[in-house]
């Protein structure tokens, strides 16, 4: 049975002295990349059709989530003065077009995030004649500009352009949850972006997100940044996260402001604070959603258009992406930059590096330089980045230039790459919904001790095989592949996604049945129909670059585990192997084909 699982993502937990860590479902996947799926002028076209028609390109960019503009009927063209919440026809398109756009993304393994504007609301014809849902004066905070307000006093900052919503009121709470559950979820939304989050207590944001089971939650807390007191600014971000009880992350406006100054004035020293990143990512990276510009801060279709309230210099946008796509936090790509500024290919290269190298919201940062004209850092000891006009490159051997442009460059550590060869393993195993296949393997410890003079342990990984995954497109298995650097016997590696039982494989078939719905392929979705699969349904595939120098004359062992039921497969007795074992033996640099619990084996060249 096939199941297309949705990524349970979050904006999860690192450390700050001011923060109590919260263990939520949203902390499981730290490999997300968000695309802001609109700009300030998007409402001028049939925007939902644009998103639907670009679904392939969106998926190709490597993003996991797309943030949509506000979808409810509104008094403003852009949707930020909501009027009738339950009416989902807007200037961006009809409810039907919205549903089709979200469905097109879902078919590519990409989740939709709703822009939830609930701090304020306008009346249908007057100040506060709210309809659909209908509210009375009790729904407006007591300190609102409207003299007829009779609700509880505001729990956050005021908003003069519309009526401030009284979130203390039980009817307001119930109607918002109903709207989220029966309208937004019904058209396919799975995540939440909260607009103007400083306008009401974050408790309510956390409550609404929990009530509807969102798989992504981020708030917009945009306050003045006083550059002589950066810590106070990022503390406000921490306070918001804590206020939601860890349910929601927050846009890292501190990092945004520091990038602005660094790029405007070559003041790259602003990006470091006591050896750590100076923005929110330096305190609680897993809860930070980073960005270069958005519909408010930056231009739209071209430099000089749109709102531009707090923009990065137009000619230095790619420096910003080189920073956020290599650093901790969940990075956001801005639609205008990728699709209107012709930066798609350059941004994609950086996004691919992030995914291929397994960088995540909790990656470690070792800052090498932070001075006038230069910022340089090494992330997770395997990716190096520099931005700024001054020259710099990482020291030591093995570094290979992976991306470069005007005043930015990214390197990956290529030591041993000459020894790595593409290796594919297929293992037949029928599974039910909720079950996934994992593989463990390497060299037998006793054989290594008796014949190779190696004393193998989990710490030294001498019997493990260095790998890097070629397929990071399956949203279900992507978090398990992040920081999975070895095929080994030991289970979950440090930094792997929760629930991993080893190295994750992906379900494949040689022919997708029309009865299963829209065709899924490994090339696009990370699972489904695969040209290398000439064998049939239920062949789970591991596709990785493997260090063949660590094998026994090209051979290595493996055994499979199926989660949530079947568990470990039975021992086998495969013929023609380099030594006796109850495990399968595969060949590095080739296609190896097995069936769970059976001794047969096939080997093919690519």
Name the catalytic one among 220, 247, 506, 529.
220
Among candidate residues 253, 255, 265, the one with its CA nearest the CA of residue 224: 253
220 part of the active site: yes
Cβ atoms of 68 and 37 closer than 8 Å: yes
Contact in structure between 554 and 544 (CB atoms under 8 Å)? no
Report d(CA 360, CA 521) in Å as an integer: 25
Question: Contact 372/362 with Cβ under 8 angstroms?
Answer: no
Taking the C-alpha atoms of residue 377 and residue 371, their distance in angstroms, rounded to an integer, is: 12
Q: Do 244 and 209 touch, CB atoms closer than 8 A?
A: yes
E strand or H helix at 65: strand 65-67
Q: Does the active-site annotation cover 264?
A: no
What distances in angstroms separate CA 225 from CA 278, 370, 452, one per listed residue? Answer: 13, 20, 60
Contact 207, 182 (CB under 8 A): no
Joined together, the tokens standing for residue 441 give 């393997």
Residue 358 · residue 504 · CB < 8 Å: no
Q: Which residue of the set 195, 247, 501, 547 is catalytic?
A: 195
- Here the tokens at position 277 are 């990143």
Helices and strands counted in the chain (H then E): 14, 30
CB-facing half-sphere around the CA of 461: CA atoms within 13 A = 13
From the list 426, 533, 526, the residue with the least C-alpha distance to 479 is 526
Active site amino acids: 195, 220
């Amino acid at each position: 049975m096939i199941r297309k699982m949705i990524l349970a993502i979050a904006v999860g937990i690192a450390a700050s002295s001011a923060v109590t860590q919260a263990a939520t479902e949203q902390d499981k996947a730290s490999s997300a990349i968000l695309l802001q799926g609109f700009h300030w002028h998007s409402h001028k076209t049939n925007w939902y059709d644009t998103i639907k028609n670009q679904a392939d390109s969106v998926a190709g960019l490597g993003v996991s989530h797309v943030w949509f503009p506000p979808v409810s009927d509104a008094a403003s063209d852009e949707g930020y003065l909501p009027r009738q919440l339950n009416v989902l026809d807007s200037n961006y398109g009809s409810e039907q077009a919205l549903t089709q756009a979200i469905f097109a993304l879902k078919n590519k393994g990409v989740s939709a995030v709703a822009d939830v504007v609930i701090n304020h609301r306008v009346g249908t014809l007057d100040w506060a004649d709210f309809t659909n849902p209908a509210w009375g004066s009790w729904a407006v905070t007591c300190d609102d500009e409207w003299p007829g307000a009779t609700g509880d006093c505001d729990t956050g900052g005021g908003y003069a352009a519309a009526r401030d919503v009284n979130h203390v009121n039980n009817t307001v709470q119930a109607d918002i949850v109903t709207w989220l559950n029966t309208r937004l979820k019904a058209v396919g939304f799975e995540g939440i972006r909260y607009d103007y989050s400083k306008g009401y207590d974050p408790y309510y944001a956390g409550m609404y997100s929990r009530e509807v089971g969102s798989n992504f939650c981020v708030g917009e807390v945009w306050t003045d940044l006083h550059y002589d007191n950066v810590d106070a600014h990022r503390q406000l971000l921490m306070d918001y996260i804590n206020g939601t009880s860890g349910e929601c992350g927050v846009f890292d406006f501190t990092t945004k402001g520091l990038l602005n100054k660094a790029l405007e004035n070559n003041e790259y020293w602003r990006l470091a604070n006591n050896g750590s990143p100076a923005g929110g990512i330096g305190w609680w990276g897993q809860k930070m959603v980073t960005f270069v510009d958005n519909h408010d801060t930056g231009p739209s279709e071209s430099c000089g258009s749109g709102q531009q309230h707090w923009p990065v210099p137009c000619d230095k946008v790619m420096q910003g992406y080189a920073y956020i796509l290599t650093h901790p936090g969940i990075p956001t790509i801005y639609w205008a930059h990728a699709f209107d500024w012709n930066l798609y290919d350059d941004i994609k290269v950086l996004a691919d590096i992030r995914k291929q190298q397994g960088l995540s919201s909790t990656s470690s940062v070792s800052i090498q330089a932070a001075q006038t004209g230069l910022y340089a850092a090494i992330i997770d000891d395997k990716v190096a980045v520099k931005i700024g006009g001054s020259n710099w490159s990482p020291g030591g051997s093995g570094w290979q230039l992976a991306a470069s442009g005007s005043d930015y460059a990214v390197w990956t550590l290529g030591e041993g790459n000459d020894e790595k060869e593409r290796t594919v393993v297929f293992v037949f195993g029928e599974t039910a919904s909720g079950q996934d296949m994992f593989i463990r393997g390497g060299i037998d410890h006793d054989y290594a001790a008796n014949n190779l003079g190696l004393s193998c342990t989990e710490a030294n990984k001498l019997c493990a095989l260095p790998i890097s995954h070629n397929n990071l497109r399956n949203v279900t298995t992507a978090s398990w592949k992040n920081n999975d650097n070895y095929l080994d016997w030991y289970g979950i590696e440090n930094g792997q996604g929760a629930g991993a039982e080893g190295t994750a494989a992906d379900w494949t078939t040689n022919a997708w049945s029309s009865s299963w719905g829209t065709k899924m392929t490994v090339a696009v979705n990370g699972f489904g129909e695969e040209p290398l699969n000439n064998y049939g349904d239920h062949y789970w595939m591991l596709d990785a670059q493997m260090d063949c120098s660590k094998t026994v004359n090209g051979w290595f062992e493996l055994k499979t585990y199926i989660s949530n039921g079947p568990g470990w497969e039975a021992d086998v007795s495969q013929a023609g192997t380099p030594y006796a074992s109850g495990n399968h033996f595969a060949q590095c640099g080739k296609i190896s084909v097995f069936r769970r619990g059976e001794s047969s084996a096939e080997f093919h060249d690519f």
